[in-house]
Amino acid sequence: MADVYDVIVIGGGPAGYVAAIRAAQLGLKTACVEKWIDKQEKPALGGTCLNVGCIPSKALLESTELYETAKHSFPDLGINVGEVTLDVPKMISRKDKVVQELTGGIQMLFKQNGIDWLQGSGQLLADKQVKVTAHDGTDTVYDSENVIIATGSVPINLSATPLEGNIVVDSAGALDWQAVPGSVCVIGAGVIGLELGSVWRRLGSTVVLLEAQDTFLPMVDKAVAREADRAFKKQGLDIRLSTRVMGSTVKGDQVVVTYQDADGTHEQVFDKLIVAVGRRAFTDDVCASEAGVEQDERGLFHVNDHCETNVPGVYAIGDVVRGPMLAHKGSEEGVMVAERIAGENASLNYDVMPNVIYTHPEVAWVGKTEEQLKSEGIDYQVGSFPFAASGRAKAKGDTTGLVKIIRDKSNDRVVGAHLIGPSASELLAQSVLAMEFDATVEDIAHTIHAHPTLSEAMHEAALSADGRAIHIGNRKRK
C-alpha cells in the first residue's frame, strides 16, 4: 500500500489537471493519474485538448488562415509579395511544438504545486482506492479521501468506415498529414468537421462535408447558421445535408465513399476521409464494478449539479458527465469540485456556457436562441448589428457576419448572444460577462466602447434593441 491522498484525479485533461491544480492550491495532498503517450512516445499531460484537440487544431487554423490571407487578400491590402508557398511539414511541426510547450507547462505546474503525477492507467476500486497500472505493467494501489474521475472522451468510430492508415482518419489523424491531399471527404458537418475541413480547404484541398441531418448547425441561432452556411459555401466548402455515409473502402492510396441522399446511393473517390461524427465518453474499465459508481447507457457517470456521483467522495467532471463536451466546461467543473472538497460552497452557472466554432468567420454563442425562448414562452427582443457597418471590420477588410443580442422583455436582462464574424470568439466574452453579472441590454448600451473596435458591434447591437443604433438605419421597435 502506497501513500494516502486527499484527492486523486484520474485523467489529466483540462478537467482533471485543473481540478488537481486547484485542489493543491487549497492545501490538499493531490495526485493525478494520466496514461497519455504523445507523438514523441513520451508520457504527457493535457489530455485531448492539449494533445489532439483544441490547441493543435487552433494552431493549424491560425497558420492556414494566415496562408490564405497572404495568398488571396494581401494584394487587396496593397501588399505584393512574391509567390506564397507552403511548407506543410513545418506547419505541422510548429503545431507539435506548441503542443509540447503547453503540455510541458502543465508538468511544471504540477511540480510547482506539489502534485504527484502517477503515470499509467487508473482504475477506481471499492472504498475510494485507486489502482494505477504503470506503463511497464506494474500495479500500485493508492488510498484517497476523494476521487475525481476525469477520463474524457474519444472519437466515435463508424464500423462502416474503419480507420485505415493515414487515409481514413479521425480528428487526431487529420492534424498530422504531411502534404496537402487533392480531395478530402469529412463525415459530419459539426464543429470539429468544419474546423478540420477549413484547415485543409485553405491549404488547397477540395473538401466535401457529408452530413446526415437536414439542418446545418442545428444548435446555432438560425440567422447565424444561415450566414455561416453562406460564408463557408462561398469559400468552397461543399456541405451536403441529408446525406448519410454508408461505408468506405480503401483502394490503393484513395478511398471510395458510399453515401445516400434523396437521389439514391452514390460513390465518390477521395484522397482522404475524416470521420468526425462526434465523441463518446471514455469510461471503459475506469471503475471496477465493486466501486459501485452509476453510469448511464452511454457510459456517462450520473452526477448532480455539483458533479457528485452516487458514491460519497467520488466525483466525475468534464466529458464523462452530462453537458457539452467543452474544455472550459470541464475545467470549471474541476475548480468547483476541488473547492467543494476543501469545504467551500462553490457552484457553476451552466446556463452561461460559451460555445465557439473557430472557422473563419468564427461562430460564437452563449445563452438561449430565439427558438428556445419561443418554446419556453419567454417574451424577448433582439438587437443586432452587421459587421459590414463596423468601421474596424471595414478597416480590417473582414466584414462578414453580425452580432445579435437577445433580452428578456420583462426585465431587460441579456438572455443570449449570437455572433458570427471576425474575432467572434473574443467578442463573445463581453456578453458572457454581462450574463454572469445579470447585466441588462441597457447596461451594455451605457458602456463606453473604444473606437474603432470590433466590440462596438456589441454596443451597437444593444443600442439597436431600442431602435437607437447609430451606424445603421433602425426599424421602429414595439
Q: Does 300 bind ligand AMP (CB under 6 A)?
A: no
Query: For ligand AMP, which is the closer residue by CB, 212 or 250?
Result: 212
The cell for 153 is 472522451
Shortest reach from residue 436's CB to ligand FAD, in Å: 17
Give me the residues paired with residue 408 across strands: 380
Residue 186, binding choice from ligand FAD, ligand AMP, none, Cβ under 5 to 8 Å by partner class = none
Q: Does 169 bind ligand AMP (CB under 6 A)?
A: no
Neighbours of 301 (CB within 10 A): 25
Query: For ligand FAD, which is the closer residue by CB, 318 or 416?
Result: 318
Task: Give the residue, chosen from 33, 186, 277, 469, that forms a contact with ligand AMP under the rule CB under 6 A.
Answer: 277
Taking CB under 6 A as the criterion, which residues in 207-266 touch ligand AMP? 210-213, 244-245
Q: Does 195 bind ligand AMP (CB under 6 A)?
A: no
Shortest reach from residue 352's CB to ligand FAD, in Å: 15
Query: For ligand FAD, which is the closer residue by CB, 225 or 321?
Result: 321
Distance CA 459, CA 444 (A): 6
Residue 222, binding choice from ligand AMP, ligand FAD, none, Cβ under 5 to 8 Å by partner class = none
In the complex, the residues that contact ligand FAD under the rule CB under 6 A are 10-16, 33-36, 47-49, 53-54, 57, 121-122, 150-153, 171, 192, 282, 286, 318-319, 325-328, 330, 358
Residue 282, binding choice from ligand FAD, ligand AMP, none, Cβ under 5 to 8 Å by partner class = ligand FAD
Shortest reach from residue 57's CB to ligand AMP, in Å: 12
Residue 213, binding choice from ligand AMP, ligand FAD, none, Cβ under 5 to 8 Å by partner class = ligand AMP
Task: Give the residue, chosen from 278, 313, 324, 452, that forms a contact with ligand AMP under the rule CB under 6 A.
Answer: 278
Query: For ligand AMP, which is the closer residue by CB, 247 or 292?
Result: 247
Shortest reach from residue 17's CB to ligand FAD, in Å: 8
Pick the catalytic residue: 306, 418, 451, 471?
451
Task: Give the residue, chosen from 12, 47, 122, 190, that forms a contact with ligand AMP under the rule CB under 6 A.
Answer: 190
Distance CA 355, CA 336 (A): 20
Query: For ligand FAD, which is the closer residue by CB, 395 or 433?
Result: 433
In one-letter notation, the amino acid at residue 290 is: E
Nearest residue to the partner ligand AMP, using Cβ: 190
- Tell me which residue of 419, 421, 403 sits closest to 469, measured CA to CA: 403
Distance CA 177, CA 253 (A): 14
Q: Does 274 bind ligand AMP (CB under 6 A)?
A: no
Residue 188, binding choice from ligand AMP, ligand FAD, none, Cβ under 5 to 8 Å by partner class = ligand AMP
Q: Do residues 7 and 16 make contact, with C-beta atoms less than 8 angstroms apart?
A: no
Distance CA 449, CA 431 (A): 13
The cell for 169 is 482518419
Neighbours of 40 (CB within 10 A): 9
Enclosing H/E stretch for 281: strand 279-281
Q: Does 354 bind ligand AMP (CB under 6 A)?
A: no
Q: Do residues 107 and 117 make contact, with C-beta atoms less than 8 angstroms apart?
A: yes
The set of residues, in sequence order, having a beta carbon less than 8 Å from that of 234 and lying 6+ positions away, is none
Shortest reach from residue 182's CB to ligand FAD, in Å: 22
Residue 231, binding choice from ligand AMP, ligand FAD, none, Cβ under 5 to 8 Å by partner class = none
Q: 306 an active-site residue?
A: no
Distance CA 145, CA 392 (A): 54
Taking CB under 6 A as the criterion, which residues in 365-384 touch ligand AMP? none
Q: Do residues 383 and 441 make contact, with C-beta atoms less than 8 angstroms apart?
A: yes
Distance CA 478, CA 14 (A): 45
Residue 211, binding choice from ligand AMP, ligand FAD, none, Cβ under 5 to 8 Å by partner class = ligand AMP
Give me the residues paired with residue 37 across strands: 43
Neighbours of 102 (CB within 10 A): 18
Give me the residues paired with residue 304 across strands: none
In our burial notation (b when 16+ CB lie closer than 10 A, e otherwise), range 44-57 reads bbbbbbbbbbbbbb
Residue 212, binding choice from ligand FAD, ligand AMP, none, Cβ under 5 to 8 Å by partner class = ligand AMP
CA dihedral for 95, 101, 105, 108, sign (positive or negative)? positive
Shortest reach from residue 243's CB to ligand AMP, in Å: 6
Enclosing H/E stretch for 381: strand 380-386
The set of residues, in sequence order, having a beta carbon less than 8 Å from that of 270 and lying 6+ positions away, is 181, 183, 184, 185, 208, 254, 255, 257
Q: Does 420 bind ligand AMP (CB under 6 A)?
A: no
Distance CA 130, CA 30 (A): 13
Show the site string, 119-138: x = touches ligand AMP by CB under 6 A, - = not: --------------------
Residues that bind ligand AMP (CB under 6 A): 158, 187-188, 190-192, 210-213, 244-245, 276-278
Q: Which residues are catalytic?
A: 451
